[in-house]
Amino acid sequence: MTNASEYRTNSDVALISQKGVATNWKIREPAPELSDPISHTETEHFVTPNSWHLVGASRRGKLHAHQARFRDDAFALAKTGQWQILVVADGGGSKLLARVGSKVASQVAIKAMLEQVNRASPDMPATELADIALREGMKQAWEAVAQKAQNRNVTMRELGTTYLSVMHRPFKGGSLIGVLQVGDGLIAAKVNDSIITLAKPDSGESAGSTLFLNSLHWKNWIDRASVGTLNNPIRLLAAMTDGISDDFTPHGTYLPKLFDYLYAITQQETPAKALLTMMGYDKHGSFDDRTIAMLYHRRSSSQLVKQMMGD
């Protein structure tokens, strides 16, 4: 557990409910002398030349705000050629350097997967390439976290983080999707009118706990890479931390509602901002950091005009 002396309150503002009654939750800022500061929110959005949108948003949860702590979630997005890549990581909330582990893991993994794709032979089958890249991304993420722990003279447990990675590309009229997950959270996609989960989340030895990327050596996770193809293109794919996925359980009942929210966001001109706003919802018993990285296909109005004019 975190010692209270390790954080200092710079602002102490009680949250006001819709009824105007102050709650016990407060908004506090971490002490300025703490190392590795990160922003309380983060967003990213870009569009590939073939009109795939990659959108990510992350925000500090109520508990970390109340404890004057930093956000522990991280995400990274990338594109190259026909490929789109997403990584989401959730630092273990009880560890002081969890935010370092999640950030390092996501950034190193995305870079490693990009390098694998960019240097691959044009003749390499796409399914084989995705498998290799997913494995290499996870391996390098683990090694980077291990190196960071060694540099700081702490155990890897102090940088504990979950790890969810996704690779996607259009494939023969459908979709090729590769995933590798260690820990909780969720990777799911909407195909036609159905929502399918693409990896199995982990649970730890006790309720409310999970496995982390650095719980075991990377060789224990290498066979978790899974690559497959769908006959139909995805309508929407989302990778999320448990701060979101746990709020929409049981998934068979409530995931459709989440994907309805996410689809509405895809219609916005500033989807990253809209996603961040949506994740500010209030739900009893929900106070974790929240992060979603999502992928969808949508042509802009200017692209549609050019297509109609034959440009």
Report pTM.
0.89
In three-state secondary structure terms, 303 is: helix
For residue 26, report the phi and psi dihedrals to the nearest 5 degrees.
-125, 160
Q: Give the per-residue pLDDT at 15.
A: 45
Beta strands, E only, 109-185: 163-171, 174-182
In three-state secondary structure terms, 273 is: helix
d(CA 35, CA 20): 36
Q: Give the per-residue pLDDT at 72.
A: 97
d(CA 43, CA 48): 17
Q: Give the per-residue pLDDT at 23.
A: 64
CA distances from 102 to 8, 99, 254 (A): 23, 5, 27
Q: Give the per-residue pLDDT at 209.
A: 67
CA distances from 249 to 60, 186, 255, 256, 290 (A): 21, 11, 7, 11, 15
DSSP string, 44-112: EEEE-TTSEEEEEEEE--HHHHHTT----EEEEEEEETTEEEEEEEEB-TTSTTHHHHHHHHHHHHHHH
Q: Give the per-residue pLDDT at 6.
A: 36
Q: Give the per-residue pLDDT at 203.
A: 76
Beta strands, E only, the chain: 13-16, 22-27, 41-47, 52-59, 73-80, 83-90, 163-171, 174-182, 186-191, 194-197, 226-230, 234-240, 290-297
For residue 100, report the phi and psi dihedrals to the nearest 5 degrees.
-70, -45
d(CA 71, CA 90): 9
User: Right CATH number for 38-309 from 3.30.365.10, 3.90.650.10, 3.40.50.300, 3.60.40.10?
Assistant: 3.60.40.10
d(CA 248, CA 12): 30
Q: What is the pLDDT of residues 182-200, one digit of tens each?
A: 999 999 999 999 999 999 9
The answer for residues whose C-beta is within 8 angstroms of residue 72's C-beta and 6 or more apart is: 64, 90, 91, 92, 93, 98, 99, 102, 161, 289
Task: Report residues of the chain scoring pLDDT below 70.
Answer: 1-23, 204-209, 300-311
